[in-house]
A and B are shown apart, each in its own frame.
Chain A
């Protein structure tokens, strides 16, 4: 079975500052990794995904994440945040070649961008 730990429940950051949202996972098999974003009272939207290949993954809205197999981490970064980045961010994992086995989600990190 897989599990996901998002190390920070809330992250406040000033506008135009860099941010890192941390995600660690546990799995006995190879995994796919995802970051989703949720704006208030909306569904989740895919930010980026790691399936294979380069460990540095670029997504929408200027976000990127790096897969680190030895540290079982998939931290999300943005060099300069905007007010519009205020949202909740979820890390998720699924085993490779699992068909449509449900994703396992972390508990989320609420990013608050301060003007």
Chain B
């Protein structure tokens, strides 16, 4: 079945470490997105990519980096510059032009 796979599901990190969250889709979607979710704050856009080798900053890009070397993959790196990285991270993709997003199951990052 087609879908989006995010890994790992749970991740623990010490302060000062970079971590990379994986997002892979087999839907042949062009556009991919990373959102951050915190309790009571909804979903906030970190980065998005509408085509391979191109991506744009979202509303809260500071302390994060991404790459889009392949259509099916859009990994997110949470760097040590991100001051409050503990959150639930959601990856999504779309190809419909009407912005109907398909979401992955999410990755929960906890900084110890």
Contact = CB atoms under 8 A, between A and B. Distances in A.
Interface in B36-52: 40-43, 45, 48, 50
Interface of A (DSSP majority class) = loop
A94 B102 CA distance: 15
B109 interface: no
Given A41-B108, A49-B98, A102 B90 contact: no
Given A34-B100, A42-B105, A44-B101, A102 B58 contact: yes
B103 A45 contact: yes
B interface bracket (residues with beta carbon within 8 Å of A): 20 to 34
A99 B31 CA distance: 10
Contacts of B101: 36, 44, 46, 103
Nearest to A10: B40
B30 interface: yes
B94 A100 contact: yes
Given A42-B105, A43-B105, A32 B99 contact: yes
9 contacts: A36-B101, A43-B90, A43-B103, A44-B43, A44-B103, A99-B50, A100-B30, A101-B99, A102-B48
